[in-house]
């Protein structure tokens, strides 16, 4: 089972569903018995939902998108 530090270190990967099936299972097991981590995950999940709801339709300006693409291409 994961400890609190491991859950915190994997929090965003867990919320973004980027963990393996086994890792997700171990996080869920920890959340069932740790109120503090459960509250942390619930809070962060709520923040993500709020940002997606209120900012999800905002499109970055074309010049910014082009610059980011240039940077990520190397």
Each residue's pLDDT tens digit, 4-59: 999 999 999 999 999 999 999 999 999 999 999 999 999 999 999 998 888 877 78
Give residue 69's Cα distance to chain centre.
Answer: 23
How many other CB atoms are found less than 10 A from the CB of residue 55? 8
Closest CA to 14 of 6, 4, 24: 24
Distance, in Å, from the CA atom of 48 to the CA atom of 62, rounded to the nearest integer, reads: 24
pTM of the model: 0.72
Q: Degrees (nearest 5) of the Cα angle 68, 20, 31?
A: 105
d(C-alpha 40, C-alpha 55), whole Å: 22
Any idea what DSSP says for residue 19? S
């Amino acid at each position: 089972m994961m400890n609190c530090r491991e859950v915190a270190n994997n929090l965003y990967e867990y919320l973004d569903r980027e963990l393996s099936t086994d890792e997700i299972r171990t996080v869920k097991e920890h959340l069932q018995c740790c109120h503090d981590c459960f509250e942390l995950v619930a809070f962060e999940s709520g923040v993500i939902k709020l940002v997606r709801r209120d900012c999800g339709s905002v499109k970055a300006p074309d010049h910014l998108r082009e610059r980011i693409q240039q940077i990520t291409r190397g």
